[in-house]
Amino acid sequence: MYKEKDDNFFEEILERNKYKIYRICNIYAVNPIEPQDLFQEVIFQIWKSIDKFEGKSSVDTWVYKITINVCLRSKMKFAKSNDKTDRFESIHFTRIDKEINTSEQEKFNYLKECISTLNETDTSLIALYLDDLSYTEIGVITGLSENHIAVKMKRIRKKLFECITPKIKC
């Protein structure tokens, strides 16, 4: 459909979806640096694939598919190389230009920690759900039926509730 890469079209896609893309990258990545790296990789893949977009789904759905696929590939690469590397989890970067609500940040960290215990499919579903997509839209992106998504979401919410409740009460 888009045989030539149109800068305006690409910029429009990026402007409309950048926060959604970053939220999904943030769920799959290990803070503080990796979300930005994943974000850049997603943007690159969108740019690389823009001429292959056929318009069979909405542009936003197409962007979600690319984002999820890039994040899953990155997670698999990390899992393979994780045995060979040591991570420095004690190094934290904090943006100085923005005041951080520690309570909200703590809750987000607990949620992210609990999401990281889910399998890949469940992680993808909850990432899309947290981005306020309907079951219909999630179904188009994942290829699952709405009914199947509804059942899985009920189970995922239960797992997350059981995981996060003890952490918040502490």
CATH number of the structural domain spanning residue 170: 1.10.10
Same domain (yes/no): 76, 119: no
φ/ψ of 92, rounded to 5, equals -125, 135
Per residue in 46-58, pLDDT tens? 999 998 888 888 9
Q: 81 is in which domain, residue-wise?
A: 1-87
Same domain (yes/no): 118, 75: no
Same domain (yes/no): 46, 128: no
Tell me how far apart the alpha carbons of residues 111 and 116 are, in angstroms, rounded to a whole number.
9
Question: In total, how many domains does the chain have?
Answer: 2
Residue 58: give its domain's CATH number: 1.10.1740.10
Tell me how far apart the alpha carbons of residues 123 and 114 are, in angstroms, rounded to a whole number.
10
Tell me how far apart the alpha carbons of residues 125 and 118 are, in angstroms, rounded to a whole number.
10
Per residue in 54-90, pLDDT tens? 888 899 999 999 999 898 888 777 666 655 444 444 4
Same domain (yes/no): 26, 62: yes
In a domain, 93, yes or no: no
